[in-house]
């Protein structure tokens, strides 16, 4: 696993050897499955324009994550609209945060 620390590898090893058990109830598992199904439904198409630099950065990041770049974009947008996306300053690309232009 890329970028895994010793603790993560220890957890993975314990999982793969069957030492870990789920503590989720049947009700929680059903809820998680329903949320996953609803999240996975892609019933609309959107076309957007991106700068070449941003698209290249997204494609590189998607390769690092091992997912298609369009899936990564959809995931980031989903996390944003559900309030689960935390903003970080220019860690992945080394680029400075661009100031927003006010209208």
Provide the whole-model pTM.
0.50
The per-residue pLDDT for 70 is: 92
Q: Over the stretch 62-92, which tens digit does the pLDDT of each residue have? A: 999 888 899 899 889 988 888 888 777 655 5
Structural domain boundaries of the chain? 51-85
- Check residue 57 and report its DSSP letter: H
Give me the mean pLDDT over the 46-67 stretch: 94
Q: Which of 36, 32, 34, 45 is nearest to 74 (CA)?
A: 45
The radius of gyration of the chain from alpha carbons, rounded to an integer in Å, stands at 18
């Amino acid at each position: 696993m890329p970028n895994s620390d010793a603790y993560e590898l220890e957890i993975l090893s314990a999982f793969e050897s069957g030492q870990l058990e789920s503590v989720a109830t049947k009700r929680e598992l059903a809820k998680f499955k329903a949320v996953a199904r609803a999240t996975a439904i892609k019933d609309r198409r959107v076309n957007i324009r991106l700068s070449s630099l941003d698209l290249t950065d997204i494609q590189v990041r998607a390769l690092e994550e091992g997912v298609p770049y369009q899936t990564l974009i959809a995931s980031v947008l989903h996390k944003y609209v559900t309030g689960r996306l935390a903003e970080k300053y220019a860690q992945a690309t080394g680029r400075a945060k661009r100031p927003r232009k006010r209208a």
